[in-house]
A and B are shown apart, each in its own frame.
Chain A
Amino acid sequence: AANRRKGRKKYGERPSCERLPGTFGYNGREQTQVCKRHDLYVSFRELDWQDWIIAPEGYEAFYCDGDCSFPLGSHMNASNHAIVQALVHLMKPDAVPKPCCAPTKLSATSVLYFDDKYNVILKKYRNMVAKSCGCQ
């Protein structure tokens, strides 16, 4: 915890959520905009998978990103809990993180693909597409 504090410039800069180093984290710049939904289209064609994924051509993944700073009145879709979370963060900025910018509504997507034995699989992946984002 002490090491983590060293890297922080001042109180109140703790991010909304823990940002894990991930595959999709190629946008390294600091996000200062409010929490909202962003486009992320993963093209199966770009991945050279069009031979075994029959449909769709790509996956509308979307993701939620942005700041959930106090006051949350300007943030659409901020839950009641997010307001409490923001207040507690103000009181204990080191111990309690800000509300998370996260999906508030998710929908399913289906993928149709071949397996090794030329069987065809149509699989519905529930809660995969972020339809809307909000502070939680």
Chain B
Amino acid sequence: NGSLMNQHHSNFIHRRLNSRERREMQKEILSILGLSRRPRPLLSFKRSASAPVFMLDLYRTMASEETGRVRGASLPFHMLPSAHHRPLEESFLSQADTIMSFVNGVEQTEDTFHHKTQWKEFKFDLTRIPRGEMVTAAEFRIYKTSNESFPGNLTLHVTVYQVLQEFHDREPHLLLLDSQEMWPMEEGWLEFDITATSNDWLMNPHYNLGLRLFVETEGGGSVDPGSAGLVGRRGPRTKRPFMVTFFRASQAPVRTIR
């Protein structure tokens, strides 16, 4: 709202700050934000990526709650809006003190010519979690595009596992986290609950070996996730997979010493 912004700016500091005052002010506000320094300059195209767009939608919902307005159905729920698929963020948003999205650091795809089973592996760096925060929910989000090369009524099962232990000479130990059904013609975001895994990774960062995703037919046949329409880190920026985690401040908040 332009008029509102003009009104704000008319009330903004009545004189220009000199450079020292400006630096001091920046330092003070960074301290409030809990940052030791400002993050490095950001490339503008990063803003249009899937995670920032999703987070901006959450921000708008949260901001409307703070200003006392009625919550709108503005959350980016694109796929299967049935009660069974209600995403975690709706119930955890109001309780959350911090929500973080994590970009996918590494994405490996299994060599389909040498293995019967095809999968994608994703890794997220959770080492930068703010102190004094507890995970209340976490989800892995991956976009699915429609694919006409499969029969429309074919049911595909998407399953996400946590990699528990890796070996050089054999398959890793995996822990089943969540699974969903999808159909070739569907398009939208798939959400997988990885709350327990996030807590595990926070407590034991060296166990963070990533997630592994499989796609299978009802008969148990393995399907390449990419050909099934799941978008990876090389896909369009607005549809790349990411992870989102909801935190709540612990009872004894950690305060920055100043």
Which A residues have a C-beta under 8 Å from some C-beta of B? 23-24, 26-27, 39-43, 46-47, 49, 51-52, 54-60, 107-126, 128
Q: Does residue B86 face the partner (Cβ distance < 8 Å to A)?
A: no
Contact B103 A112 (CB under 8 A): no
In whole angstroms, how far apart are the Cα atoms of A128 and B29 in the complex? 12
In whole angstroms, how far apart are the Cα atoms of A116 and B8 in the complex? 30
Instruction: Name 7 A/B residue pairs within 8 A (Cβ), A-sorted.
Output: A26-B21, A51-B44, A52-B41, A52-B42, A110-B63, A113-B33, A117-B128
Contact A108 B9 (CB under 8 A): no
Q: Does residue B208 face the partner (Cβ distance < 8 Å to A)?
A: no
Contact B101 A120 (CB under 8 A): yes
Q: Does residue B51 face the partner (Cβ distance < 8 Å to A)?
A: yes
Contact A56 B63, CB 8 Å, known A111-B33, A122-B99, A124-B97: yes
Q: Given known contacts A115-B39, A123-B33, what 18 new A-B pairs fall within 8 Å (CB)? A: A24-B25, A55-B63, A58-B12, A108-B66, A111-B33, A112-B55, A113-B33, A115-B128, A117-B128, A118-B42, A118-B46, A118-B49, A119-B101, A120-B51, A120-B100, A122-B59, A122-B98, A124-B98
In whole angstroms, how far apart are the Cα atoms of A54 and B46 in the complex? 11
Contact A52 B33 (CB under 8 A): no
Contact residues in B for A111 (Cβ distance below 8 Å): 33
Contact A114 B39, CB 8 Å, known A123-B98, A124-B96: yes
In whole angstroms, how far apart are the Cα atoms of A78 and B13 in the complex? 28
Contact A119 B128 (CB under 8 A): yes
Contact residues in A for B46 (Cβ distance below 8 Å): 114, 118
Interface residues on B, range: 35 or more
Q: Does residue B177 face the partner (Cβ distance < 8 Å to A)?
A: no
Contact A60 B32 (CB under 8 A): no
Q: Please, which residue of chain A has its CB at the minimum distance from the CB of B96? A: A124
Give min CB distance, B92 to chain A, whole Å: 12
* Interface SS of A by simple majority: strand
Complex partner residue of B97 from A60, A112, A123, CB under 8 angstroms: A123
Q: Does residue B254 face the partner (Cβ distance < 8 Å to A)?
A: no
In whole angstroms, how far apart are the Cα atoms of A49 and B27 in the complex? 12
Contact residues in A for B62 (Cβ distance below 8 Å): 110, 122, 124
Contact residues in B for A120 (Cβ distance below 8 Å): 51-52, 55, 100-101
Contact A40 B51 (CB under 8 A): no
Q: Does residue B15 face the partner (Cβ distance < 8 Å to A)?
A: yes
Give min CB distance, B107 to chain A, whole Å: 15
Contact A41 B97 (CB under 8 A): no
Q: Does residue B110 face the partner (Cβ distance < 8 Å to A)?
A: no
Contact B38 A121 (CB under 8 A): no
Contact residues in A for B209 (Cβ distance below 8 Å): none
Contact B9 A121 (CB under 8 A): no
In whole angstroms, how far apart are the Cα atoms of A111 and B33 in the complex? 9
Contact B59 A54 (CB under 8 A): yes
In whole angstroms, how far apart are the Cα atoms of A113 and B32 in the complex? 14
Contact B66 A57 (CB under 8 A): no
Q: What does the 1/0 interface line of B103-130 toward A look like (CB < 8 Å)? A: 1000000000000000000000100101
